[in-house]
Amino acid sequence: MSEMNPYDSFRQLSEMLEKGLNGLLFQSINNNPLIQVTKLGIEANSRYIELLKRNRELMASYMNLPTKNDVANAVKQTMQAEEKIDILEEQIWNLQDSFALATQEQNKVLGEILEFTKHIHFEWQKTSQELAALSEMKNEFEEMKKLLQKDKEEPVLVAK
């Protein structure tokens, strides 16, 4: 014959209890007066909670204490300020980089201007020396011209 397992009987008993409790719960949930009473209780409780919130806000304003909303707004504004500061820092870094590049370009241009000025000065000295030499040559030509004119004015004696 089959042996009786104590766990099987325990399982059957627990299944019967579960079915009974489930039936009781379904009857309670489908109970319309219970739902109406619960609804009234929830509405009264929510009105009471709203009244407490308003009173808490009022008391906090009289006592000059920050409320949860005030703290949340302060945190939000602080975060916005930090974001703006981060943006400004990034813009400052970009400007510093731009100024560094501009300074390098200016130094490069100044170096080129100095080189060009040195070259112009050298050319000017060279031109001055050439001008001095040309002036000397001009003076020599003038003297030669005077000598030639003097020779034309004096008669040349020719022997016959």
Q: Are residues 81 and 39 in the same domain?
A: no
Do 60 and 66 meet the contact criterion of CB atoms below 8 Å apart? Answer: yes
Residue at 160 is within a domain: no
Backbone Cα Rg of the chain: 56
Domain count, the chain: 2
Separation between Cα atoms, residue 152 and residue 137, nearest integer Å: 22
**Residues spanned by the domain of 40:** 11-65
Residues 39 and 76 in one domain: no
What pLDDT, on a 0 to 100 scale, did the predictor assign at position 1? 43
CA–CA distances in Å: residue 28 to residues 16, 31, 35, 88: 18, 5, 9, 64
Identify whether residues 44 and 96 lie together within a single domain: no
- 149 shares a domain with 82: yes
Query: Do 75 and 145 lie in a common domain?
Result: yes
Q: 116 with 139, same domain?
A: yes
Q: Report yes or no on 77 lying in a domain.
A: yes
Coil, strand or helix at 15: helix
> Both 50 and 77 in a single domain?
no
| Sites in the chain below the pLDDT cut of 50 | 1
Q: pTM score, two decimals?
A: 0.44
Do both 99 and 120 map to the same domain? yes
Residue-wise pLDDT tens digits, 106-135: 999 999 999 999 999 999 999 999 999 999
Residue 99: inside a domain: yes
